[in-house]
Amino acid sequence: MYGLAIVTFFRQDKDNAMFPFVTEAYAQSAGGGIASSGGIYSFIYNFTPILIVILILWVGVFRPQQKKLKLHRELLASIAKGDEVKIDSGIFGIIQKITDNTVHLEIAPKVVITVERYRVAEMVKAKKEDKKED
């Protein structure tokens, strides 16, 4: 009995020789578009999930990245000579000179490297200002 069922299951008819496991296929009905499928409400209903995904991406990804970029710009504007900073590759150094696009860091006594300004990742210590007392 099981042998007959297996043979029947795997047999290939002339009509269905190429796809033995597909029995029927259905075509979509003619028509479509906003006008025939329910008007503007159907359009809004179909695109609501897309709008929700875009909103989630904006709130979860793009907005925090913009805030982080703004904080980094503020950091780059506030660095000054004598500040101890860390660059994005993990090297710590004291700023010796700042130009428009570069920063000269002293990473060891008498060892100064030049890096691009936007590579400064964080400020470790701000330069201590000497307080003059009267």
The conformation of residue 124, written as its DSSP 8-state character, comes to: E
CA separation for the pair 83, 113 (Å, rounded): 15
Q: Where are the domains of the chain?
A: 1-78, 80-126
- Say what the alpha-carbon torsion angle 118, 119, 125, 126 is, to the nearest 10 degrees: -20
Instruction: Please name the CATH architecture into which domain 80-126 falls.
Output: Roll (2.30)
The conformation of residue 30, written as its DSSP 8-state character, comes to: S
The pLDDT tens digits along the chain (134 residues) read: 444 444 455 554 555 555 666 666 666 655 555 445 567 888 888 889 999 999 999 889 889 999 999 999 999 999 999 999 999 999 999 999 999 999 999 999 999 999 999 999 999 988 766 444 44
Map tokens 């909103």 to a residue. Answer: 55
Is residue 124 within 8 Å of residue 92, measured between CB atoms?
yes
Two tokens, residue 30: 């003619």
pLDDT, residue 39, reads: 76
